[in-house]
Amino acid sequence: MTMEIISVSLADIAKAAVDMMTRGWRLVVITCTAVTEEYDITYSFAKDNDLRHYRMTVPEGELIPSIGAFYGGAFVYENEIHDLYGFTFTGMTIDFGGTFIRAAVPYPFRKKEAPAPKITKVTSDGGKRANQKPADAAKEDVL
Amino acid sequence: MYRLYGEMRAMKMLKTILKQLSNKPVTTTFPAEPARYFDATRGHIVFDPSKCTSCTICVKRCPSQAITVDRVAKLWTIDRFRCVICNQCVELCSFDAVSLGTAYSASVTADERGTETFEITYVRPKKPKKEHGNEE
Amino acid sequence: MTGRRTVIPFGPQHPVLPEPIHLDLVVEDEFVVEAIPSIGYVHRGLESLVDRREYADFVYLAERICGICSFTHSSTFCQGVEGLMDIEIPARANYLRTMWGEYSRLHSHLLWLGLFADSLGFESLFYNAWKIRESILNEFEATTGGRVIQGACKVGGVCRDVSNEFLSGMDKRLDDIETEMQEMTKVFLSDYTLKKRLVGKGILKPDDAYNLGAVGPVARGSGLAMDVRTSGYLAYGDIGVKPVTTSGCDGYARCEVRCKELFQSADLIHKIIVAMPDGDIATTVKGNPDGEYFSRSEQPRGEVVHYLRGNGTKYLAQLRVRTPTLTNLPSLVVMLAGAELADVPQLVLTIDPCIGCMER
């Protein structure tokens, strides 16, 4: 199992995808990772038991050309990254317009200004939920 | 042709039917017959208050944050609803205060919350020689 | 002609679906022209918890991504962390993980076969499949302590050992299970009604399957010999695996692959038990993960990918899980186009959808 990561620019990703398709590699996954300032978007391809990755680094909210024209299965990953990280893909085969994963918070996996708390506090009454009604909470305090 | 096929099927079915008649049922009548557990079954967490030193490793490492410890009031509380019986606290506890029981914990209503509180009765043994040896 | 088209919503509540997925079926007369899936009913955001739980504790959370392939998820996650930290786990732990992985394949396929029979209205076959599955679950409970969520994996090895006497007992009991499975799969593969409802339905051509990224039994039912186990992770390199393929490309072929994989798994378990090495079951783990790693395994439903990125602390920077159902979804869209409306429920089932797994 080899793992090679090749850097690619935003403009070249479609070309790289065509190249991989003609050589018989299949699309495994598109991953989005938040790094210090920007986001890494990694396209992973597989042939037999080898993996090869193309990675591009993009700023938040960038327009990314879709590779759905070459890989019919790409739309699930592209819609997912759109819904969770807020990137827009141009020319997706099926565009759900932000309804693929319906999250209560828009773009929940996007970087936040303040880092997420390391441990959520559990109160002694056994973990009150934040959305509980005040009446219920008061009852729990008695318990 | 169809009749022959039908008869063949009937013969096959007859075999199965006879087998079902003679065999014991696979299911058990649970409340009447006690549930069957294995020695390894992770049923529920058993707490021994006489061994707990309130080191709170179980609180820190519980994946579902089911355990709380009040060091001042000497209380050890587990929320049975949150506990997923993953065995993590049992593995981490170096004082054998937490162990596993094979039976599943009884069902409760949401109002009861399923929390169980134990009073820690552990007394730190006195060490006459070492004066500065202060352990957690 | 467009005037004759109707859109029929399918799901998220439907008798054959244990989990919520919604399909918009564009129907012309009795035939489906197009199917548009939509998910998002059970998204839990589990991956984002990874920066709040220590990597050693996250194993238990990774296991809860799915209730059926739970063991494979935890072993893939552990494999990823071990890859990041360059840990070599003891041989016995490797073999035990492989054995439990194969047992979970048996239990998952039996579950699917049961649900599938139920979706066709074949109740007695459903009970029969689940009866056999129960004996697999008993083995799980006796060895790991959990029936469905095993909790037996940890970074650096496994939590529990199985005595050699018990292993030989398991070996013997598996023979009986195999006999029962033989009788059951005979019905699946030769029953008139089942064949009538499966043969030639839901065609997925090999080229389409490859291009759309189908994995697992869906790809193997279309004749593609794709199986991550051939890459030789865990103990599969020593044992040797040959992917089960059929060339039917239809629903029946996918059912056949799963039936045959039952015996392949049983065969693998026999080999693993015979070759089980003695020794430790875990190594001590020191330090924190750093770098990035793609960890792949073959789940009962197909290939799963865990992408892990560490940052040198005890909290991982990112985890991304690509489950087999997510990548089989585009194949489902292709399968449904041209199918009869009445065949849609069982065609959805032939990809073995696991929605909770898919959305994490």
Give the CATH number, domain containing residue B101: 3.30.70.3270
Q: Work out whether the CA dihedral C67, C71, C77, C81 comes out positive or negative.
A: positive
Closest CB to A124 among B65, B70, B82: B70
Decide if C54 and B84 are in contact by the 8 Å CB cutoff. no
Identify whether the C-beta of residue C310 lies closer than 8 Å to the C-beta of residue C119: no
**Nearest Cα residue to C332 out of C307, C350, C356, C318:** C350
- Report the 10 Å Cβ neighbour count for B61: 17
Identify whether the C-beta of residue C333 lies closer than 8 Å to the C-beta of residue C348: no
pLDDT in tens, C306-339: 888 888 888 888 888 888 888 888 888 888 888 8
In a domain, B130, yes or no: no
| Helix C164-190 and helix C123-144, axial crossing angle in degrees, nearest 10 | 170
Q: What is the pLDDT of residue B29?
A: 84
In a domain, B26, yes or no: no
Q: Kindly give, in sequence order, each residue whose CB lies less than 8 Å from that of residue B18, ignoring residues fewer than 6 positions away.
A: none
pTM to 2 decimals?
0.84
Cis omega (within 30 of 0) on the bond before C15? no
In a domain, B74, yes or no: yes
pLDDT in tens, A98-137: 777 777 777 777 766 545 555 555 555 544 444 444 444 4
Domain boundaries of chain A, sorted by first residue: 3-116
Closest CB to B40 among C53, C134, C141: C141
Identify whether the C-beta of residue B78 lies closer than 8 Å to the C-beta of residue B45: yes
In a domain, B39, yes or no: no
A117 at interface of B, judged by CB pairs closer than 8 A:
no
In A99-142, where does DSSP find H-type helix? 134-142
Each residue's pLDDT, cut to its tens digit, for chain C (360 residues) gives: 556 888 888 878 887 777 888 888 888 888 888 888 888 788 887 887 887 788 888 888 888 888 888 888 999 999 888 888 888 888 888 898 999 999 999 999 999 999 888 888 888 888 888 889 988 998 888 898 888 888 888 888 888 888 888 888 888 888 889 988 888 888 888 888 888 888 888 888 888 888 888 888 888 888 888 888 888 888 888 888 888 888 888 888 988 999 999 999 999 999 999 888 888 888 888 888 888 888 888 888 888 888 888 888 888 888 888 888 888 888 888 888 888 888 888 888 888 888 878 877
CA atoms of C137 and A33, how far apart (whole Å): 37
pLDDT at A30 over 50: yes
Say what the alpha-carbon torsion angle C138, C142, C147, C149 is, to the nearest 10 degrees.
Answer: -150
DSSP letter assigned to residue B78: E
User: Which three-class secondary structure string do you get for chain C?
Assistant: CHHHEEEEEECCCCCCCCCCCEEEEEEECCEEEEEEEECCCCCCCHHHHHHCCCHHHHHHHHHCCCCCCHHHHHHHHHHHHHHHHCCCCCHHHHHHHHHHHHHHHHHHHHHHHHHHHHHCCCHHHHHHHHHHHHHHHHHHHHHHCCCCCCCCEECCEECCCCCHHHHHHHHHHHHHHHHHHHHHHHHHHHCHHHHHHHCCCCCCCHHHHHHCCCCHHHHHHCCCCCCHHHHCCCCHHHHCCCCCCCCCCCHHHHHHHHHHHHHHHHHHHHHHHHHCCCCCCECCCCCCCEEEEEEEEEECCEEEEEEEEEECCCCEEEEEEECHHHHHHHHHHHHHCCCEHHHHHHHHHHCCCCHHHHHC
Chosen for mutation from A18, A22, A28 (greatest number of chain C CBs closer than 10 Å) is A28
**Percentage above 90 pLDDT, chain C:** 5
Decide if B63 and C60 are in contact by the 8 Å CB cutoff. yes
A129 at interface of B, judged by CB pairs closer than 8 A:
no
pLDDT in tens, B27-45: 888 888 887 788 888 888 8
Scanning A55-94 for CB atoms below 8 A from C yields 71-73, 75-77, 80, 83, 94
Mean pLDDT across A7-28? 82
What is the CATH number that goes with domain C2-359?
1.10.645.10
Closest CB to C146 among B26, B39, B42: B42
Closest CB to C329 among A1, A32, A76: A76
Nearest residue in C to B90, CA atom = C159
A114 at interface of B, judged by CB pairs closer than 8 A:
no
Distance of residue A142 Cα from the nearest chain C Cα, in angstroms:
30
- Tally of structural domains, chain B: 1
Scanning B2-41 for CB atoms below 8 A from C yields 26, 38-41
Residue type, A110: R
Nearest residue in B to C57, CA atom = B63
Identify whether the C-beta of residue C228 lies closer than 8 Å to the C-beta of residue C76: no
In a domain, B36, yes or no: no
Decide if A125 and B114 are in contact by the 8 Å CB cutoff. no
Q: What is the pLDDT of residue B32?
A: 85
Distance of residue C324 Cα from the nearest chain B Cα, in angstroms:
26
Burial of A111 (0-12, 13-18, 19+ CB in 10 A): middle
Scanning C16-75 for CB atoms below 8 A from B yields 53-54, 56-58, 60-61, 64
Domain boundaries of chain C, sorted by first residue: 2-359
Distance of residue A75 Cα from the nearest chain C Cα, in angstroms:
8
Going from the C-alpha of A119 to that of each of A126, B62, B63, B64, C100, the distances in angstroms are 15, 11, 10, 11, 32
Distance of residue A132 Cα from the nearest chain B Cα, in angstroms:
13
E strands, B73-132, where?
75-79, 98-101, 115-119
pLDDT at B130 over 80: no
Per-residue buried b or exposed e for C225-236, using 16+ beta carbons within 10 Å of the residue's own CB: ebbbbbbebbbb
pLDDT in tens, C253-287: 988 999 999 999 999 999 999 888 888 888 888 88
Q: In chain B, count H helices and then E strands.
A: 3, 5
Going from the C-alpha of A7 to that of each of A21, A30, A52, B17, the distances in angstroms are 18, 14, 11, 66
From chain C, the residues in CB contact with A96 under 8 A are: 38
DSSP letter assigned to residue B105: P
CA atoms of C61 and C55, how far apart (whole Å): 10
Nearest residue in B to A126, CA atom = B79
C8 at interface of B, judged by CB pairs closer than 8 A:
no
A136 at interface of B, judged by CB pairs closer than 8 A:
no
Domain A3-116: state its class: alpha beta
CA atoms of C188 and B14, how far apart (whole Å): 19
Q: What is the pLDDT of residue C110?
A: 92
Owning domain of residue B72: 44-119
Decide if A119 and C52 are in contact by the 8 Å CB cutoff. yes
Q: What is the pLDDT of residue C216?
A: 87
